[in-house]
Structure 1
């Protein structure tokens, strides 16, 4: 493929965006970025001006307001409004500027709470959503439907990727807004450092989840662009899951925590199970390559190193 196209990575500082930057930069692509201080993607006028001023050939729309169960429960209006505004502004401005290729990143939470497993793309809108993150899920559904509508009406070729639960460098480790895996990594690190006897995990530990390293999502994105994958909705995952209890045990083992795992049953579990059917993209030739043990080990090491460096700087 000609490596001349200019690719706008929206949300380049986040976990997904930074993984896209690493992946595409490593393969010689010309990347365009704007931080929030330079371009507020919820501002329609500013977004349209940006696309009018820059020649953009491909958009990777990774910018989003994201968070775990607590953050979604505390700020539902923020989650639905900001995500709707970002995707509507970027998708429409991209079309107006003549951008024919765009990748929109959704989430596995778009699928019904009680859904046949593994979850196929065709199960979308077949049942009620999980209440704890419904506003966010509705915004993401609107984003993929925007892509479908623009493709149908204007002949664009916008693709929507629905990744499973992601983790990796630059994740959010704030316990008030993080997802389960980064929260467990932080809790395990702090438990080891403080020599705590227990580590508390939200919920019963029984829900099953699938986890994919964010670098695999970046790899899938490049595959979609370079192989000119047709527009549509594609699940992106590893095709295997485990219980939250098993996940907590794995993180504790990586961290060297030998105390007791305590499950706080007063906290919500969320959806009972989320395992994606990833056969559609697999048939086209893409598969995840980073195993969970390898991924957790590397992510924990990265987090621990950053924390130790921050502590050394504050004490120095």
Structure 2
């Protein structure tokens, strides 16, 4: 990408979009276009078309999505499939209509079958049943991948799809009802420490294995792939390393400094038994993550304390 190129980052206020914007600015890209959801409703085809006609971006990072953890995915099933389908369909189609040079679409590791062999290879897409608790979200993301493939097939568009593993980092969502496991545990352990609670409850058995990638490493990978990758097939972005939820909880407990006990609520769902990405394709392209999990959790916790846990001051 030319340093003066006009780059639209959809979803710039989210964890992923904000990381992409930071990395673009660090790399010298200053002609960034952003819109909040109140300024531009990506679910509106008319609004999206007007925006693209007016702004005429050269490149698009499609990081806008309705996201959440197991509870949110399973509770707001209709919203998750509708909002995500509409946003990606409108942005991808407008990118084709208005001559965008290249688009990068961000999917999710939940697109892979629940019982797919581990680690998850890109070719496992659509080879089995999805995890039931988040299949509306997964189906929407699969549709986005297929849109990018189809627009490449029919119109020759340089649209690529990347599949990040579980993410965490700056500007994460710490709402206990709707967040993912890692930020939820950071908040739980912090509040338990502050309140002097004797224990913290973790959903499920603690046995599922998960892979976690620092969002700034994902952003680095996205910029790298925007410059180097132009294939039809999707590409995984992850670390290639996983950890049990129990091990994750113990790691966060140590970082936060909580000295109480862990309790596992086995009445709550575990979700997919294991989700580990095969990142050999990414490594062959020449990219590897930089931030190890312990270091990343420390960075995320410092961000949480500044933005979400700062004491309320009165005048």
Which TM-score applies when normalising by structure 1?
Answer: 0.98
Q: Is the 8 A contact 1:164 1:237 kept in 2?
A: yes
Equivalent residue, structure 2, for 1:82:
83
Report runs of 4+ in structure 1 exceeding 4 Å deviation: none
Who is 1:25 aligned against?
25
What runs of 5+ residues in structure 1 fail to find an aligned partner? none
Please show how residues 137-216 of structure 1 align to structure 2 within 5 Å: 137-216=138-217
User: Does 2:14 correspond to 1:14?
Assistant: yes
SS in 2 for 1:312: coil
Aligned pairs, how many?
Answer: 314
Q: Is the 8 A contact 1:12 1:63 kept in 2?
A: yes
Q: What CA deviation, in whole Å up to 9, does each residue of 1:264-303 have, x standing for no partner?
A: 0000000000000001011010110100010001101111
Are the equivalent residues in 1 in contact too, given 2:43–2:90 (CA < 8 A)? yes
Give 1:21-170 correspondences, 5 Å limit.
21-29=21-29, 30-170=31-171
Moved more, 32-41 or 206-215: 32-41
Where in structure 2 are the equivalents of 1:158-307 lying within 5 Å? Answer: 158-307=159-308
What SS does the aligned partner of 2:234 have? strand
Contact 1:113–1:130 (8 Å) recurs in 2: yes
Distance 1:153 1:4 in 2: 29
1:196·1:259 contact (CA, 8 Å) conserved in 2? yes
Distance between the aligned counterparts of 1:10 and 1:44, measured in 2?
A: 15
Measure the CA separation in 1 of the matches of 2:86 and 2:74: 20
Q: How far apart in 1 are the matches of 2:233 and 2:158?
A: 8
Per-residue CA deviation, residues 233-284 of structure 1 (Å, 9 max, x unaligned), is 0000000000000000000000101111000000000000000000101101
Q: What CA RMSD, in Å, does the superposition of the two structures yield over aligned residues?
A: 1.0
- Shift of the alpha carbon at 1:20? 0.4
Shift of 1:27: 0.9
Change (3 A) 1:98 1:134: same
Deviation at 1:307, TM superposition (A): 3.3
Aligned 8 A contact 1:158 1:232 in 2: no
3-state DSSP of counterpart to 2:57: coil
Distance apart, 1:305 and its partner CA: 2.4
Name the residue aligned to 2:2. Answer: 2
1:312 is displaced (CA, Å) by: 2.8
Mapped to 2, the partners of 1:312 and 1:14 lie a distance apart of 24
8 A Cα contact 2:85 2:144, kept in partner: yes
> How far did residue 176 of structure 1 move?
0.8
Deviation at 1:228, TM superposition (A): 4.7
5+ residue gaps, structure 2, are: none
SS at match of 1:102: strand
Give the CA deviation at 1:55.
Answer: 2.0
Rounded to whole Å, the distance in 1 between the matches of 2:192 and 2:230 is 45
Q: Deviations over 1:103-140 (max 9, x none)?
A: 00000000000011100000000000000000000000
